[in-house]
A and B are shown apart, each in its own frame.
Chain A
Amino acid sequence: MQPLSAEVALTRVIAYLELSGLNVTPSVERQVLAVVLEALETDESATLDTCVRLARQRFDLRSVAMPVIAPVICRGSIGYGDH
């Protein structure tokens, strides 16, 4: 049996939130269900993309701490000696 579009959307949004580092508590689950419901009411044919988009807007997803990739460049040159 094919899963319902709402079922797919719910699974995907919860996975997205978990992979984004959010702790999925019962309260979060209720919010996700509300998002799915809202998406279904908005446009039944585009439930999945609406859900993902709404979830990104509604939840405070942790931003990644970006390490310093390199120090400030202190330009020098390579020489060839006297030869």
Chain B
Amino acid sequence: MAIIDDRFSNAAQQLDQCSPRPRWRSTAMARRWLLMLAVFLQTGLATNFFLSILPYKGGTYVEISMAVLFAILFAWISVGFWIGILGFCFRRVGGDRHSLLLQQTEDSLLATPLARTAVVMPIYHESVERSLGGLRAVFRSIERTGHLEHFDFYILSDSRDPDVWLEEQLVWARLCDELDAHGRLFYRRRTLNLNYKSGNIGDFLRRWGRNYLYMVVLDADSLMSGSTLTRMVQLMERHSRVGILQTSPSLLNGQSLFARIQQFGNQLYGPLFTTGLAAVQLGEAAFWGHNAIIRIDPFMRHCGLRKLPGRGLFRGPVMSHDFVEAAYMGRAGHEVWLEPGLNQSYEESPPTLVEELTRDKRWAKGNMQHLWLMFRGRGMRMAHRMALVNGIMSYLASPLWLAFLAMTTIETAHMVLFPINYFPDSHQLFPLWPQWQPHRALILISITMTLLFLPKLLAVTDALLTRRAIAFGGFLRMLMSVLIEIVISALLAPIRMLSHSRFIIEAIFNLTLRWAGQNRAGEIGWGKAFVNQAMGTVLAVSWSSFAWWLDPKFFLWSLPVALPLILAAPIFVILSKVHLGQTLRRRKLLVIPEEVSGSELLEAIGKEPDYSVAGSPFPAFEEAIIHPQVNALQVALARDRRHGPRGVHLQQLCFRCLETGPQGLSRSEQSLLATDAVSLGWLHREAWEMAPGSAWGDLIGARIRLHRVKKSQFRAAERVLRHKE
């Protein structure tokens, strides 16, 4: 411990002794000014052109509003465009010389000793098999590097459902045995969930943070290779100013059509955008909450998140913590780097659009909360404030686009339904002949499309030049996959726009959102899809009908937005289909390098053992009471909670549970019982003595039958094996 404390203070001293202004800062400043110049110039020209298309050339309030909205939206996509261009240029010249990886040689990194690092995985009602199976793959990968002794692993659970957290505990214990990770792989479940994920991490840091110099945060679907993790620790050791080092996680393991499209786009276009983004942000990058390494000491000293003191949305704990923590790290004088060169860092896409939108609902609210910090947060660096703007605009762009469409409709209705105003300005001498300029509108649309799609074409070019096309199925298949991706993205854009607009309105009115884990496997049924998208479909039908009534030409203009919304339910269902994704995969469409060339991590999660509760279909709570070995484990993990009045309550629950079976208790009552060692032990003993015909007697009978079936299956398999030998 003393060694770690010394390292803490040494790191702080080193920081103080470092030159006050690192060299990258002036480069970052120059690049950002250039980016802003390009964006503003481009936006200014485009907005001027847009005004020339409008009937009154910006002479009415509606047109002025349209122009303002257009300018904001155009600037937003222009930023993305220039980031992509920058990324392409940097990749062509072999990377950014300021990046941390390029500042080090292979030898210097290999010669750098590692330091104590905690790999933490906060989970909340996630698939236990997938999340802990992923952690197992990470553990094995680090083991293969020969540096396992520097790493400890923590499963940090916030799960409330007893069937989930009891299963987590069981799988954790089995992992400890399987990996021989006793004393290296730990499990902690908070009984009081405060402040979401950041509260969970904070709880870990308060208890064990001082034992480590670094902490790697993984999401439930994260995968990182051992070589990448060791390299990250070495980079942190070489650069004492760096507080957070963020990798750019690639998507993998997608099964549904939707997930496969997402991961293809992410893997093909992602490197371009992250290289560009990293080149602009340099040491003032954002933290994305996972697949990153954090220097624990400054994080603990500076990155506590106070509750917001405002009203409504701006009151209470910070929901989207990562950007804020990066900003606080920067405020304390530490650097935050995004390093696109650190590969073999992965996460998964939500399997369906419904799941993606459920996640976006949380993120939209969390990002809107950042408005308070952006304006009221003290001492934060401008780059980090801009990162907050970036996060806010990711969702705010949608209602702005919707407002733009509404303004366009008002403008058209005004032109069609009301008499033409030849003198919109009371001081003008000559009449104005209002007229649409559709050919100029087409030019503007072409320019906008170029901004959106040119970076994608550059990513394809980059893949060809770096001979990566073969890893995407070959040139022709890659082009086909890009076409599929572009068509689906165009279809999804209006659906996302409408949903995000709803989320923003909900966020502003501070409606309560459910904070739940992703469904990482399921498909969507027709009923759920229609219910989910009914409002959007009705709105789109009404809007396009109105457009048709106004002017058939305007109706045609409305179709690219209205049609995907009308067809939203079938789009949702088709995209969620796993067999469609797999069919395209067999034809080598939408494939990614890890699938073509192989990946030890992907194979490891594909071969994960059966971690389902004792290999049985019984819920974990029942298994914790019935199965003698599982019960012994759960009793050992529980505490004696029978102090004071709670003891009486627990005994009453025990009697009720014994009489009625688990169905007679609510989830929270089951959870309470499962945390009490005395209750678990008592229920186990009593349940096995219950006669057939009683609730537990029947459950035990069913469990015995299952045990026999499994035993006979096992013996049959053994016979087959012996026969083969």
Contact = CB atoms under 8 A, between A and B. Distances in A.
B653 interface: no
B331 interface: yes
B579 interface: no
B322 to A, nearest CB: 16
A18 interface: yes
B106 interface: no
A68 B180 CA distance: 12
Contacts of A69: 186-188, 637
Contacts of B173: 64, 66-67
B379 A82 contact: yes
Interface residues of B, number: 49
Interface string B682-725: 00000011011000000010011001100100000000000000
Q: Give the size category of A's interface with B.
A: 35 or more
A23 to B, nearest CB: 12
Contacts of B300: 76-79
Contacts of A61: 628
A36 interface: no
Contacts of B209: 74, 76
B328 interface: yes
B176 interface: yes
Interface string A25-64: 0000000000000000000000011001100000001111
A74 B4 CA distance: 12
A76 B1 CA distance: 12
Nearest to A19: B628
A4 to B, nearest CB: 12
SS class, residues of chain A in contact with chain B: loop
Interface in B176-235: 176-177, 181-183, 185-188, 202, 205-211
Nearest to A50: B689
Contacts of A53: 689
A12 B302 contact: no
Nearest to B1: A74
Contacts of B708: 15
Interface string B158-176: 0000000000000011001
Nearest to A64: B632
B636 A20 contact: no
A65 B177 contact: yes
B23 interface: no
Contact of B633 (A64, A71, A83): A64
B378 interface: yes
Interface in B344-382: 378-379
A52 B187 contact: no
B150 interface: no
A15 B704 contact: yes
The 6 closest A-B pairs by CB, nearest first: A49-B689, A81-B302, A67-B176, A78-B304, A20-B628, A64-B632
